[in-house]
Amino acid sequence: MTVTLPTSPKTPPPAGTSVGTAAAASARRASADAPFLVAAAGGTPSRRPVWMMRQAGRSLPEYRELRTGVDMLDSCFRPDMLAEITLQPVRRHDADAAILFSDIVVPLKAAGVAVDIVPGRGPVLEHPVRTDADVAALPTVEPDQLAAVVEGIRGVLPELRGDQVLIGFAGAPFTLASYIVEGGPSKNHGVTKSLMYSAPATWHALMEKLTATVITFLQTQLGAGIDALQLFDSWAGFLSLRDYREFVAPYSRRIFDAVRPYGVPMIHFGVNTSELLGEMAAVGPDIIGVDWKTPLDVAAARVTATLRSEGLPAPVAVQGNLDPAVLLSEPRVVAEHVRRICAEADAAIAAGDARGHIFNLGHGVLPETDPDAITRAFAEVHAL
């Protein structure tokens, strides 16, 4: 059984969006020549922009000290702590972007879903969602339930320089669904895909609810003044191209359509998505994140070929893609890899397959990473 969804890349924004986008634009304070914004738009930035996923926390001793005795999700709902953790790596590393300290399950928790982050394991749900009744009972988040996140964002913005941007983020519906259906992290997402295949109507109903929550979460962040956003589909790489197109792409496209009127750069990223990169770009982001397994010039060529074959605007900017493990190596090795990746990105731009490059990791910072190694890598990127 296949369920056909009434989606379109030209879906009009929700009622009242024009008012919301105007207010959001007035809340943003990054300058137009901020390197991140210039690179995303295809211009020539004053320096190559760099930030790293999971730079907020994990590897920083000041983060671990601040978090002592405070649960992960609790810290995401404490505006003062949220703001301080977001700013710590920007101060230490001279990053061109701050990434909002949060978690993909924050909107679920805010909506009243019984979810917790178990140390050493990850998000765990008290009651997995696997039936029509479960889906019907699943709440969607409302803006007023996200007041702590808004307050945290407003604590970050005044502390950033005009050439630094604040990136908000959300988990994509498929990745959220994988936790909700499995009840926690999974190595193969078998229960999730079984539901997708055997009960497609239930699956699509779940994705509808999660899409609504993700849109509200992102629009709330946009209203608070974020300068860019990233939609993480961390586990999309477990899907075939056919399954991605049928069960996932329509919802990610709907999210990008809903937030596009706000006029900020939009990033899409997943792990092990080499075969999906073109379709992930086709759902509407301005920037495609690439993990460390595919060279940036190869990834960019693949994305551009797909976009052009589907009659969509090309190229997009690329983000990535240093292997996080490289930062555990000696400085000489890190510098060699940084130069290689920048050269691959420049080759993609010269070939017309990418319109700009934002340096990043191909996944998140490893907890055991020496913070000084990150600082040196940022300096190396800025020197090129």
Q: Is 234 annotated in some ligand binding site?
A: yes
Give the integer Cα–Cα distance in Å for 324 and 328: 8
29, 47, 58, 245: the active-site residue? 58
User: Comparing C-alpha atoms, which of 1, 14, 2 is closest to residue 215?
Assistant: 14
Exposure letters 50-70 (e unless 16+ CB within 10 A, then b): bbbbbbbbbbbeebeebbeee
- Type of residue at 239: L
Active site residue 67: yes
pLDDT at 295 over 50: yes
User: Comparing C-alpha atoms, which of 357, 324, 310 is closest to residue 45?
Assistant: 357
**Residues in a beta bridge with 267:** 230, 287
Long-range CB contacts for residues 128-137, cutoff 8 Å, separation at least 24: 128/180, 128/181, 128/182, 128/183, 128/191, 129/180, 129/181, 129/206, 130/181, 130/191, 130/195, 131/202, 132/201, 132/202, 132/205, 135/202, 135/205, 135/206, 135/209, 136/205
67, 78, 245, 339: the active-site residue? 67
Q: Is 56 annotated in some ligand binding site?
A: yes
Predicted TM-score (pTM) of this structure = 0.93
| pLDDT in the model for residue 239 | 96
More confident: 289 or 7: 289
Active site residue 376: no
Q: Is 63 annotated in some ligand binding site?
A: no
pLDDT at 2 over 80: no
Q: Each residue of 154-176: pLDDT tens digit?
A: 999 999 999 999 999 999 999 99
148 contacts 82 by C-beta, under 8 angstroms: yes
What are the tokens at 145?
A: 């339930």
Give the integer Cα–Cα distance in Å for 284 and 288: 10
Give the integer Cα–Cα distance in Å for 107 and 123: 13
- Match domain 17-383 to its CATH number in 1.10.443.10, 1.10.260.40, 3.20.20.210, 3.30.70.1230: 3.20.20.210
28, 48, 63, 179: the active-site residue? 179
Active site residue 121: no
Kindly state the DSSP code that residue 227 receives in the 8-state scheme.
Answer: S
pLDDT at 12 over 60: no
- Type of residue at 258: A
Longest dimension (CA), the chain: 56
Sign of CA dihedral 64, 68, 72, 78: negative
Q: Is 357 annotated in some ligand binding site?
A: no
| pLDDT in the model for residue 26 | 75
pLDDT at 193 over 80: yes
Active site residue 154: no
Q: Is 97 annotated in some ligand binding site?
A: no
Give the integer Cα–Cα distance in Å for 273 and 1: 26
How many other β-carbons are positioned within 10 Å of the β-carbon of residue 274?
A: 15
Q: Each residue of 123-138: pLDDT tens digit?
A: 999 899 999 999 999 9
Q: DSSP 3-state assignment of 148?
A: helix
| pLDDT in the model for residue 118 | 87
What are the tokens at 36?
A: 């991140």
Q: Is 58 annotated in some ligand binding site?
A: yes
Active site residue 58: yes
Q: Each residue of 222-281: pLDDT tens digit?
A: 999 999 999 999 999 999 999 999 999 999 999 999 999 999 999 999 999 999 999 999
Residue 325 burial (CB < 10 Å; 0-12/13-18/19+)?
Answer: middle
103, 227, 257, 286: the active-site residue? 103
